[in-house]
Structure formats: structure tokens, C-alpha cells
Chain A
Amino acid sequence: MKITQFKNLSSSLMPLHRDDVDTDQIIPARFLTATDKKGFGEHLFMDLRFEEDGVTPKPDFVLNQKQYKNAKILLAHENFGCGSSREHAPWALLGYGFNAVIAISFADIFRNNSAKNGLLVVELPRDVIDMMHADVLKDPKEKATINLEQQTSIWKGKAYNFPINPFVKKCMLEGLDDIGYTMSFADQISVYEKRRDSVNAT
């Protein structure tokens, strides 16, 4: 089975200059009763985006500001995606139209969940992120170009390298599926299991 491949991406940025954006903010818990992966995009950042009536946009929130419309890259800040393990967070970001998030750091489970859905997380140094935030405020049309193969994010003509686990990179580039990969070692799992089950009676 194939997952979504990550294609190189050139897009303007949606600047969300907040630290510790937790997954409750990305997608509030009341939307987690859905049983498929679709439809979360419309509830992305729901309570930051809309007034209590759930329909009136808050003008001060970036997703409602027309200069950032159609951005496919979210420019976040520090410790993005902390808190709950809900995979609904990357589903909501992808559903809304984001294909990558650039930030200083990401929470562990959010990073895993994102990779498995083809949402690329790009970690860049604080000074670069702060500069990008300042630049975007001045020129919202400025585009970042992300090349996963090269592990670079190009901003204003300068390429910044970002780290990524080589296996995750390969999976995202080729659209490889983790489960298929692990299943290809089914024999080894059976060998382990046999030994394990003979020892663990309880």
C-alpha cells in the first residue's frame, strides 16, 4: 500500500508565531468523535479561528487574513504539536491544505504522526525562524521552497538545511508504507514471538 508522497513544495507561508501550540488547539477534542480521516480541515484551529458561535471568523487570527490565503506551509515557532497524541492534528492540517510545517522544534508524537501522513515537518534554527517570521510580516507573498531530497528550505535565495531521519525521508519521498515494510519481516516477527511466548506465560 502506498501513502502520499511528498513532492517538492514552493509556497507562501502562514505565520503562526506562538510557542507550544498543542494538538487541542490544532483540533479541539469535541471533533474527535468522527470515525474517518476526512473533514478535520474545516475545524483546524477552530477556537482560534472562530468566535464562540463557531462561524464568525476572528479577524486577528492568521488563517482569516487574506494576505496569507493559499499558503501551503505553516510557519510555526517552538514545540509545535505538543500534548495529546491525536493523529487528527496532522489530518486537520493536511485537510486544510498544508503540506509542511516549519518550526524551531516539534513534539515527538506529532512528528511521527505527521510523517505517516505525508505532512513534512521542517526543523530550522531559532534565528532563521525568527527572521522568516519578520520577513513574512513585511512580505506575505515571499515563497519558501522545500526540497526533501536535498533536505533544504530555500528562503530569500538562501538554502537552509534541515535534519530528517533517513528512513522517514525515504518513506516520504517514495510514498512507502511502514506496515508494508514491517510485514516484509514477518518471518523474523514469528521467530521472536515463538521465543517470547515460550517464556512469558503471564
Chain B
Amino acid sequence: MNSKPKQHNRAKKPASARPISNGAGQTLYEKIWDAHVVREAAGEPTILYIDLHLIHEVTTPQAFTGLRNRKLPVRRTDLTIATMDHSVPSANRKKLPWPDVMAQKQVEMLDANCKKHGITLYDLGSKHQGIVHIIGPELGLTQPGKTIVCGDSHTSTHGAFGALAFGIGTSEVEHVFATQCLLQNKTKTMAITVNGTLPKGVFSKDIILRIINEIGIGGGTGYTFEYRGSAIRALSMEARMTICNMSIEAGARAGMVAPDQTTVDYLEKRVKFASAEERERVKASWLKWKSDEGAMFDKEVIIDADTIEPMVTWGTNPGMSVGITQKIPKAESEDVKKALEYMGLQGGQKMAGQPIQFVFIGSCTNSRIEDLRIASKIMNGKKIAKGVTAYVVPGSQEVKSEAESEGLDKVFLSAGCEWREPGCSMCIGMNGDLVPSGKYCASTSNRNFIGRQGRGARTLLMSPAMAAVAAIEGTVGDARKFV
């Protein structure tokens, strides 16, 4: 069967969408919701308790100021964890002042606010510093059944553990500081079932790009996704995180995968238990977080993993993607025309062979150890193409040191890549890691929005394997030929 992703993505209703309506039992989402209701009343939003509040430098300063104006403390400092990731330089960061003095001031403000309120902060000197969505799972803080929020839309990442995790704005950050709760209305639920087996050279990034392509970037608005099916079950925790991470790119509030033995194995090493008995009790409690047989979802989308090809985006949102052997759409609609114009691409062309000048392997989507292993395997003994600048930015200090202990840094460095310090880096470009105007960047990040990686920058989203191939070829290639 041939992969036939949609040429464009404005479809509002998934073609395969159908309500599942046998009605018995509850979904995972509903179970977590019910377990966190502090107060429910008709006509009013539910007061939902939050188990874990992750914070970083960019979306908290105004919330701390608001708290000070109200003369309120942070209600649960023990459930609040801070790190620095968005605007921290990925090189020479110990040398002050930073080139961006405002970024430095913002990071210093986080430090001062955490000290003042007694919040644990993994700062640049900490061995746990990293992208907020990488360190939560690493520290064993992300666990099944928890409610997790952060002033960052990619908080959906933590849903990979069967947690209800979603991004919030700064006013809501302040709300959680003050009350450890949020006002919420229930979302609808969408089951996204991925059956079958992923072909060699095709990865979880390709699954999620295909899903977004299929349902559209607004197709998940008002929903919480639950990813399931044999292809999801076969994925590692790292790969599941990549999928849940990009749920927001389809507009969903959250995305989740019910925990199983893979989840337990990952967490067991990372959670501190008081006793062996406690460990067994908690492990068993994790596995109860799953949708009941026959639970009702508002919609279901079914995708066959065997038909997924390595995916690449050609446009200016994550739904504008295409399989590597497919042609991109012709400039028939105004949206496609504008996107192609910005991207400097020709309607009807293939992405294979498209020259690139930059490569970014990093971000909360794809900067975990497994991502780096895949990329380094492809780059091993090779050199990146002439004229290509490649950044490899591990997601956390832990990922960095693990990679270095495996010698992955050496592979990247001798291939001609830059091996950098953990943070969001070129995904958002707040720290000065930017793609110049008009240049193409093969990027493992999550957004190819206009100007996202720098003014005029042209982002091609893809998997770490595909980015590694692009780095050595200097053009977009097919990862299936390299693994």
C-alpha cells in the first residue's frame, strides 16, 4: 500500500473519524480528570488540582509580579520545579554579560524569584538543567495519572506517561502559583489509533507529522488525544514523548498514551521510592491508568503505520508536510501560494533533493538520547556536506553526559557538527541561535512557522534520522536508504 498523505491540511473532520459509542466505561482522560476535581458546579468551570507545575524563565516573570501585587505566596513550592531553557545561550554561557542582556536579566529574575519563594531551580550550574519537558520525565517527576502544567504549549509531551499535561498562559501560571489549581472545562476526546508496524527508517516523528497532516492543525482544537494501537505500544518512551509533544500542533489541549510495562521500566529507575513495598504499590497504581474497554471517545482516527513514509514539511505550519516520495501541492489556494512563496519552493516538486544549509538536531521534540543515537549512527564516520552548518543540542545535561559517555559527541564533532549546551536553542531562536533569512534548515523541532527559527528562515521539519541524512547529503534525502 502506498502512503498517500493529504496534499494539504485544511480538512476539518478526519476522513476516518467516527464516534465510538458503546458507552461503557471511562477514558483515561476522564479518569485523571475525576481524580483531580476539587470542586464541580453547574455553569461554572471545574476547579482542577495540579500535581506538578514546571516553570521556566520566559512565561513566569509577569506571574511572579502578579503574585507579589496580591501579596500571596506560592502555595505548593514542593510541587513546583524550575529550570532555564528558552533563552539560555547554547555556548559560552558562563561568560557574562550575555550578548542579549534582556535574556540574561530574565534568567536572573527567575533565579531571584525562585530563591524568594523557595522553589527548586535547576540552573545553568546544575547537572539537571535542560529543556523543561526533557527534565520532568528524566527526574521521575512525570508520572501516570498526574496533572501537569507549564507555561509552554509543548507540555503535552508529558502525556506520554499517561499524565494529563497541557500548556497554559502566564495568567494561569499565576493561578497555579496562588492556588495549585486551574479552572478548566472538559475537552472532548479523540482516539488516535496507529496500527501495524513502522517500516525501517520511519520513526515516531513521522507518525505525528502524518497525524497532523491528516487531521489538520486546527483539527484537534477542543480535544484531548489518546494515542493507541500496536504501533504506539511498540514505541519507546522517548518516541512516545515525540508524538505527545506535537499534539498541540494539531490544536489539541493534550495528548496521552496509557502507561504499560515500557512506562514502568522507564520510571522505575528514576523515581525515588521509600521502600520496596512502596515501589510495588506505586508501580501497580501506575498501570491502572488506562481507558476502560469500550470507553466512549468523541472521535477516532485510524492510521496504518505500514503506510507511513519519512515525512518532511514544505510549508509554514506543521500540517503542511509530505511523504519523501510524494510531490508537494501546487499553488492552487491562497494559503499554499503564500507558504510556497515564503519557503521559496515550487508547487508540484518533491522535497527529496531540496538543498539545505542548516541542520538543527534538538528541541523538546527530538533531543533525547535515543534521537542522538539514531542521528549519530547515520553520521558515524561521515562528514557533513560542504556549506552546511549543523547544530546538535542535547535536551538536558543528563542527555549530554550520557551521549558523551557513549562517544556520540565525538561522532558529531568529527562529522563537522557543533555540539552545544542544553536548551531550546534554534527551535525558537530566543538565545541567538538563528537561521539566516532565506536559508533552509533541516530541523527536528516542532514548528515551521514563518520566522520561527529567525526572520525569513525556512524550516523543514523532519525526524532526527532525516536531519542527519540531510546534514551529510546537503539535501533532503530518504532515511530508509541509510538505516
Contacts and interface: CB of A to CB of B under 8 A. Distances in A.
A200 B36 CA distance: 13
Nearest to B275: A201
B221 A79 contact: yes
Interface in B405-452: 428-430, 437, 447, 449-452
B330 interface: no
A20 B317 contact: yes
A79 B181 CA distance: 28
A22 B169 contact: no
Given A20-B317, A179-B175, A179-B179, A202 B282 contact: yes
A192 B221 contact: no
A33 interface: yes
Contacts of A18: 335, 338
B185 A165 contact: yes
A82 B253 CA distance: 11
Nearest to A32: B58
Contacts of A116: 169, 171-172
Interface residues of A, number: 52
B43 A196 contact: no
B310 interface: no
B87 interface: yes
For the complex, would chain B's binding face be called helix, strand, loop or mixed by DSSP majority? loop
Interface stretch (A56-64, A104-112, A133-141, A146-154): A104-112
A193 B197 CA distance: 43
Task: Report the interface size class on chain B.
Answer: 35 or more
A52 B436 CA distance: 12
A197 B175 CA distance: 20
B10, B248, B278 interface centre (most CB from chain A within 10 Å): B248
B102 A188 contact: no
Interface stretch (A4-12, A66-74, A84-92, A93-101): A84-92
B103 interface: yes
A26 B241 CA distance: 28
B152 interface: yes
A113 B175 CA distance: 12
Interface stretch (B266-274, B360-368, B393-401, B460-468): B266-274
Nearest to B167: A85
A79 B100 CA distance: 33
A142 interface: no
Contact of B169 (A30, A87, A165, A182): A87
B181 A25 contact: no
B4 to A, nearest CB: 23
A78 to B, nearest CB: 7
A164 interface: no
B356 to A, nearest CB: 21
Contacts of B153: 83-85, 109
B178 to A, nearest CB: 5
Contacts of A20: 217-218, 317, 335
Which 6 A-B residue pairings sit nearest by Cβ, starting from the closest? A113-B169, A35-B61, A87-B169, A79-B218, A33-B102, A116-B171
Interface of B: 10, 38-39, 43-45, 47, 49, 51, 58-59, 61-62, 65, 69-70, 86-87, 100, 102-103, 105-106, 109, 143, 151-153, 167-172, 174-175, 178-181, 183, 185, 217-218, 221-222, 248, 251, 253, 271-274, 278, 282, 317, 335, 338, 428-430, 437, 447, 449-452, 455-456
